[in-house]
């Protein structure tokens, strides 16, 4: 009997489909990787199972990147299984190839990525001698209620209807690959021409995002503080005292000067003259009171949730996503979080009422218990109704807004409870009536000068009650005045202030900038194409930010995101090579416009990809043909003088160079690279290096093959060139520790703990922590461990825990040499092996696997303790 295979994007959706089809298609039997009845086989991917890759002959390994191998524009793309998803892929492919499976239904998420996930799986499966040749239909769902799923099956779309979307999905994926690979390899090759391997990544989304941060930092650096004055005055009315601030009623906004405001004065004499004129005088009061309503903010999409969680709790975008994912997958208490929609499907009213009932009746843990009263009130007062700002199919994209499910949480961690509380409060509040205020604007005129006082009285809290705001804040109350009442000035303050530069981006504000990047585009059509898209997707924005930090383009300082010297160098390079379009959101806008045209059959995939290939070739050509010594840019003059002649040291694109006593000549020949070992000097670092003649240990260097390492740098005088030069200093690492070294004096250091091998004292030495008996003239011990291990700094506190208790806290900054992915682990002392190794967090218990042989068990054990003495 022939059957139809339904492939969903996620296991949870596969289960929803099975539940919806059971009443009309019969009971399903559950298997390890799928569900099956007489008519259907239902399975799922777990997101992307397959990725595109260049054919083998085009695959140039890292460390051999050069212009000789560029551009890389393969005639077609091969497919490769994603490592962590191989088991799932094999199971799905096996079902696709089953002889009794005669038709396929794509039930992946409704959108471009869902289309691509399905198409790549089918393409990967269709590699046998006999073509699959199985008809395909599309299930297009925006709501996951059983009725909506059944209705979706009644109006399946044909494969022909989906070809435009499929072409757009493939084209976006391949275009990102072509621009990312060619751009990254070309910029890396350009920056590595003086030797070493200076990895310089670029991408259609990451580079414009970085550009936003760099441009803000440039404004901050160029900001010149300007003095201005504000005047505040106190007035006595018959009912009491109040304050007002001077303002100019004739003020008009100046587009060329953002610092100008109605309440700012730029002349101290004028400010003092106004203060003298009104002091002790009597004036007249007029005021206007208007009722004002404020509706609850809309439901959360992922970006809004990340933004607010960053502002409230300091969570990074990545942390918020991982918590939301756990609430969705593990606890099943939130709907799918990777969404860009803030609305619900129009048929979801019944589900919303059921969710209100769950919240009102369930005994929720801790502070969440207080929400039940608000849910009860919402049901009793009939607040849950089909409001257009909540229920709107036109504003539901691949997924709908993040809301609580019908599953009540049982045991949440503190951070999970915080995020769940945010979502539930927003879900309840959006159905509550608006908050009602009485907004009062009071103008006090005295001696021809105007002072403004604002008051806002909460009349009815409405949705604010859900957030615990039932009454007006005390400081918002204004003493009443009579119409045209005469009031007396009691005191005047003239405050001298300075303009401030714009604030640095933090994750919340950068997410907003990425989300609204379309607003930065002048072209109307391109801006429309990026409407509600911005840079990246809700699912990828956190990864983009983390990637920029991992590649050392940005650092976190508190909550601020600060671009590094490497970021400024990249922007200088792209501008200098005239490939600045890589830094602008117009690139994404243009792509989105063309991909939308392709979806509607108005642009061919072939024409689009030819233009992308030309762009990749142009980027490579610009970098390859650039023949000048330096790139024009806004470069620094260092405070520290040349160590050779005392001349002025200036920065250019590649080096810090002596320019003589006048700062305009060839100087004495002293010059050091800006990027030793593929790592960019920060300005404060090079200043310290010239001052102290050494710095480090620093992490982030890369070998010629591209592998990361940690080292100290020193500035040494070379008699052969009669000048100073930069050298790497690996301390005793390079000497091998044979025991013939000079005695080492540790008298100026406090011991960091007892050596786990010989009980001697452990101290800092070069880039390592070492036993006092492992260095010097008479070596009797070999204990040492890195101060930085796989990019993770090991603090004195953590080393002390390792030495005293055999184990550090869980450290989260390790980066695998092999995969370049971040991971977290404990550092542990392995007494049996006699070295420091890793121990990973225990995973959730799994079903017992088949018995391993003794040899296999040894291999598993060996993998769990990796040497950490690098």
- Give the residue numbers marked as catalytic: 336
**In this structure, are residues 184 and 193 in contact, taking their beta carbons and an 8 Å threshold?**
no
Three-class secondary structure of residue 298 per DSSP = coil
Phi, psi dihedrals of residue 812, rounded to the nearest 5°? -110, 5
Distance, CA of 120 to CA of 134 (rounded, Å): 15
C-alpha closest to that of 641 among 665, 616, 660, 664:
660
Q: Which residues 6+ apart lie within 8 Å of 28 measured at CB?
A: 18, 21, 22, 35, 36, 37, 40, 42
The DSSP secondary structure of 79-147, one letter per residue, reads EEE-GGGHHHHHHHHHHHT-TTEEEEEEES-SSHHHHHHHHHHHHHH--SSS-----EEE---S--SHH
- What kind and span of H or E run contains 454? strand 449-460
Strands (E), 248-313: 282-294
Q: Which residues 6+ apart lie within 8 Å of 381 measured at CB?
A: none
Sort strands 240-247 and 449-460 into parallel, antiparallel or unpaired: antiparallel
For the purposes of burial, counting CB atoms within 10 Å of the CB of 438, is it exposed (0-12), middle (13-18) or buried (19 or more)? Answer: middle
DSSP 61: P
Distance, CA of 865 to CA of 846 (rounded, Å): 21
The answer to whether the bond into 544 is cis (omega within 30° of 0) is no
Task: Rounding to the nearest 10 degrees, give the CA dihedral for residues 336, 338, 339, 342.
Answer: 70
Strands (E), 564-707: 637-641, 648-651, 655-658, 671-673, 694-702
Distance, CA of 197 to CA of 187 (rounded, Å): 11
Distance, CA of 5 to CA of 104 (rounded, Å): 5
Question: Among all chains, which residue has been given the structure tokens 């094999």?
Answer: 90
DSSP 363: -
Three-class secondary structure of residue 672 per DSSP = strand
**In this structure, are residues 205 and 588 in contact, taking their beta carbons and an 8 Å threshold?**
yes
What spatial distance separates the first Cα and last Cα of the chain, rounded to whole Å?
60
**In this structure, are residues 672 and 725 in contact, taking their beta carbons and an 8 Å threshold?**
yes
**In this structure, are residues 593 and 526 in contact, taking their beta carbons and an 8 Å threshold?**
yes
**In this structure, are residues 826 and 809 in contact, taking their beta carbons and an 8 Å threshold?**
yes
How is residue 45 written in tokens? 């991917």
Phi, psi dihedrals of residue 363, rounded to the nearest 5°? -85, 85
How is residue 819 written in tokens? 């995969």
Q: Which residues pair with 288 in a beta bridge?
A: 441
Between the alpha carbon of residue 361 and those of residues 358, 375, 381, 406, 746, the distances in Å are 5, 9, 16, 11, 67
**In this structure, are residues 426 and 445 in contact, taking their beta carbons and an 8 Å threshold?**
no
CA contacts within 13 A on the Cβ side of 401? 27
Distance, CA of 465 to CA of 375 (rounded, Å): 11
Question: Among all chains, which residue has been given the structure tokens 């930085």?
Answer: 788
Between the alpha carbon of residue 524 and those of residues 5, 352, 395, 521, the distances in Å are 43, 38, 21, 8
């Amino acid at each position: 009997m022939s059957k139809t295979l339904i492939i969903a994007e996620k296991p949870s959706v596969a289960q929803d489909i099975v539940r919806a089809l059971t009443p009309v298609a019969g009971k399903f039997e559950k298997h390890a990787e799928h569900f099956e009845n007489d008519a259907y086989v239902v399975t799922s991917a777990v997101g992307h199972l397959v990725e595109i890759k260049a054919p083998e002959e085009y695959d140039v390994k890292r460390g051999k990147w050069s212009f000789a191998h560029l551009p890389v524009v393969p005639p077609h793309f091969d497919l490769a299984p994603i490592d962590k998803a191989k088991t799932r892929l094999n199971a799905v492919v096996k079902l696709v190839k089953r002889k009794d499976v005669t038709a396929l239904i794509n039930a992946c998420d409704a959108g471009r990525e869902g289309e691509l996930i399905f198409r790549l799986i089918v393409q990967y499966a269709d590699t046998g001698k006999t073509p699959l040749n199985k008809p395909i239909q599309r299930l297009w769902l925006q709501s996951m209620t059983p009725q909506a799923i059944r209705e979706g099956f009644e109006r399946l779309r044909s494969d022909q209807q989906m070809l435009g979307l499929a072409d757009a999905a493939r084209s976006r994926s391949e275009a990102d690959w072509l621009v990312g690979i060619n751009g990254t390899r070309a910029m890396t090759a350009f920056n590595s021409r003086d030797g070493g391997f200076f990895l310089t990544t670029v991408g259609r989304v990451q580079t414009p995002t970085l550009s936003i941060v760099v441009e803000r930092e440039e404004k901050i650096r160029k900001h010149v503080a300007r003095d201005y004055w504000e005047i505040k005055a106190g007035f006595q009315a018959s009912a009491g005292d109040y304050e007002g601030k001077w303002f100019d009623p004739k003020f008009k906004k100046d587009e060329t000067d953002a610092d100008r405001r109605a309440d700012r004065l730029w002349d101290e004499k004028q400010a003092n003259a106004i203060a003298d004129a009104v002091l002790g005088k009597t004036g007249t009061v007029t005021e206007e009171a208007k009722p004002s309503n404020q509706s609850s903010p809309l439901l959360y999409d992922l970006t809004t949730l990340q933004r607010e969680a960053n502002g409230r709790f300091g969570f990074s975008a990545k942390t918020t996503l991982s918590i939301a994912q756990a609430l969705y997958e593990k606890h099943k208490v939130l709907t799918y979080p990777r969404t860009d929609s803030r609305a619900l499907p129009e048929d979801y009213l019944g589900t919303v009422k059921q969710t209100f009932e769950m919240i009102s009746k369930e005994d929720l843990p801790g502070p969440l218990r207080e929400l039940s009263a608000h849910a009860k009130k919402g049901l009793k007062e009939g607040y849950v109704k089909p409001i257009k700002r909540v229920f709107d199919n036109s504003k539901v994209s691949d997924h709908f807004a993040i809301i609580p499910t019908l599953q009540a949480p049982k045991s949440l961690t503190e951070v999970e409870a915080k995020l769940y509380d945010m979502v539930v409060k927003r879900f309840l509040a959006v159905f509550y009536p608006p908050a009602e205020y009485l907004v009062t604007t009071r103008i006090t005129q005295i001696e021809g000068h105007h002072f403004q006082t604002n008051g806002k009285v909460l009349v009815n809290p409405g949705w604010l009650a859900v957030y615990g705001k039932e009454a007006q804040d005390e400081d918002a109350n204004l003493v009443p005045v009579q119409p045209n009442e005469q009031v007396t000035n009691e005191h005047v303050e003239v405050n001298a202030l300075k303009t401030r530069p714009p604030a640095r981006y933090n994750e919340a504000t950068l997410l907003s900038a990425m989300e609204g990047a379309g607003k930065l585009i002048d072209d109307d059509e391109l801006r429309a194409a990026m409407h509600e898209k911005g840079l990246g997707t809700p699912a990828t924005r956190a990864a983009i930010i983390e990637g920029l930090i991992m590649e050392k383009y940005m650092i976190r300082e508190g909550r601020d995101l600060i671009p590094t010297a490497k970021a400024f160098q990249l922007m200088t390079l792209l501008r200098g090579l005239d490939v600045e379009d890589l830094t602008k959101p117009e690139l994404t806008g243009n792509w989105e416009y063309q991909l939308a045209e392709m979806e509607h059959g108005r642009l061919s995939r072939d024409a689009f990809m030819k233009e992308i290939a030309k762009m990749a070739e142009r980027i490579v050509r610009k970098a390859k043909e650039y023949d000048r010594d330096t790139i024009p840019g806004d470069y620094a003059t260092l405070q520290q003088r040349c160590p050779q002649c005392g001349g002025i040291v200036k920065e250019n694109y590649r080096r810090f160079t002596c320019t003589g006593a006048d700062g305009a000549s060839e100087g004495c020949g002293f010059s050091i690279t800006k990027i030793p070992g593929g790592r960019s000097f920060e300005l404060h670092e090079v200043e310290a290096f010239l001052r102290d003649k050494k710095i480090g240990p620093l992490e982030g260097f890369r070998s010629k093959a591209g592998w990361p390492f940690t080292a100290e740098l020193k500035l040494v005088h070379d008699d052969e060139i009669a000048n100073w030069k930069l050298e790497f200093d690996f301390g005793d690492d390079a000497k091998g520790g044979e025991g013939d070294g000079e005695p080492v004096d540790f008298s100026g250091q406090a011991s960091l703990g007892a050596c786990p091998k010989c009980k001697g004292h452990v101290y800092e030495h070069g880039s390592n922590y070492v036993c006092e008996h492992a260095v010097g003239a008479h070596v009797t011990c070999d204990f040492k461990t890195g101060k930085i291990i796989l990019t993770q700094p090991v603090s004195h506190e953590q080393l002390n825990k390792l030495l005293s208790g055999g184990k550090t806290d869980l450290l989260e900054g390790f980066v695998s040499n092999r995969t370049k992915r971040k991971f977290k682990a404990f550092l542990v002392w392995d007494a049996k092996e006699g070295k420091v190794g890793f121990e990973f967090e225990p995973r959730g218990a799994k079903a017992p696997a088949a018995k391993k042989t003794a040899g296999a068990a040894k291999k598993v054990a060996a993998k769990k303790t990796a040497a950490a003495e690098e």
